[in-house]
Amino acid sequence: MTAVAYRFTRKLVAITVALLAASAAAQNYPLKNITLVVGYPPGGGTDLFARAISQDMGRQFDKQIIVDNRSGAAGNIGTEFVVKAPPDGYTLLYTPSPIAVSKVLSKNLHFDAQRDLRPISMSISIPLVLAVHPSLPVKNVKGLIALAKAKPGTLTYSSSGIGNSGHFTMVLLNASAGIDTRHVPYRGAAPSLTSVISGETQMSFLVPPLVQAHVASGKLHLLAVSSRKRSPVFPDLPTMQEQGVRDYEALQWHGFFAPAATPDAIINTLHSAVVKALARPELKARLVAEGGEIVGSTPVAFAAFFQQEVVKWTEVAKWAGVQPE
């Protein structure tokens, strides 16, 4: 055997042994505790959902799933940490929908979410409701569109910041209905909500639990829900599509991701655990009460959806003239 052939044979054997070891590890997964990275602070919605679901998954595995909050840069710090982690299933990411526009909103990123992450499962989706101040003289979306067209650039809407779900959901309505409304960004959902209640701004897209009490007291009026289906929190509230805005859908969603090279066997094991956790009655009831719709999509379905979200919201961001910072 020549020296070249010998080196090639040794390399081939090493690769084969490594693949067999990886396969065995995947089949016995998990053998130790798992770190679940959340790119947002403790106590927020993303963190609470991550802890609730992962606690049940940990019981299934008889292992701990340790939530590691690596907040900052709109979730990008946590995402980059997972991207650089070994693809062995022991470092995962739980993140909300803004990850789909990370490239649009942030320059000089050291990762590409589509290329460097592998979707495991979307856990839940959360529709937004269009809330308006009672003084706004409209009763439905058609009335709002008519008013906006009669007074272009004068109606104002609040959000919790440039590029967040509330901002882009309204931009999508502007584009879909051919109207022009003015964005007033705030630092968080609470001041955004307060601005509409006080009449400082006239409307906002917000998550259902945030507005329930204010709708009941008459401080806010709801026009529509952003999903294709009605919200269980407000079952009498019609969708945008029911009110003539064709093909309109905008959702907040949460999902699990792993580093891109994570083996199929590990991805499938994790997906199965997510689905079982979401099916548990106590957890399901808790998530639904928060306005969420249980999803538990397959890795293939989630990957396809994620790709669609990246394309859709990238176009919306361009339409809005958002520049990366």
- pLDDT, tens digit, 9 for 90 and up, residues 103-154: 888 888 999 999 999 999 999 999 999 999 999 999 999 999 999 999 999 9
**pLDDT tier at 18, thresholds 50, 70, 90:** very low
Q: Where in the chain is the domain with CATH 3.40.190.10?
A: 129-243
pLDDT in tens, 48-84: 999 999 999 999 999 999 999 999 888 999 999 999 9
What pLDDT, on the 0 to 100 scale, is given for residue 125? Answer: 94
Secondary structure (DSSP) of 3-62: HHHHHHHHHHHHHHHHHHHHHHHHHT--SS-EEEEESS-TTSHHHHHHHHHHHHHHHHHT
Q: Is the pLDDT confidence value at 5 over 80?
A: no
Give me the mean pLDDT over the 265-289 stretch: 94
The predicted model gives 5-22 an average pLDDT of 47
Does the domain at residues 10-125+253-320 carry the CATH identifier 3.40.190.10?
no
- In terms of phi and psi (left: phi > 0; alpha: psi -120 to 50; beta: otherwise), the region of 73 is left
pLDDT grade for 174, boundaries at 50, 70 and 90: very high
What mean pLDDT comes out for the span 195-210?
95
Average pLDDT for 2-15 = 50
List of E strands, the chain: 34-38, 65-69, 91-96, 117-127, 129-132, 156-159, 182-185, 203-206, 221-225, 251-259, 293-294
* Polymer length of the chain: 325
CATH number for the domain whose boundaries are 129-243 = 3.40.190.10
pLDDT at 21 over 60: no
For 281-321, write each residue's pLDDT tens digit: 999 998 888 888 999 999 999 999 999 999 999 999 988 88
Q: End-to-end alpha-carbon separation of the chain, Å?
A: 58
Residue 1 has a pLDDT of: 54
- Report the chain's mean pLDDT, rounded to a whole number: 91
Share of the chain above pLDDT 70, in %: 92
Confidence at residue 52, expressed as pLDDT on a 0 to 100 scale: 94
Distance CA 238, CA 210 (A): 18
In this predicted structure, what is the pLDDT of residue 25? 57
Residue 118 CA to residue 38 CA, distance in Å, equals 16
Instruction: Say yes or no to pLDDT of 20 above 80.
Output: no
pLDDT score at 206: 95
Above pLDDT 90, what percent of the chain?
77
Q: Is the pLDDT of residue 17 over 80?
A: no
Q: Where in the chain is the domain with CATH 3.40.190.150?
A: 10-125+253-320
pLDDT given for residue 9 in this prediction: 54
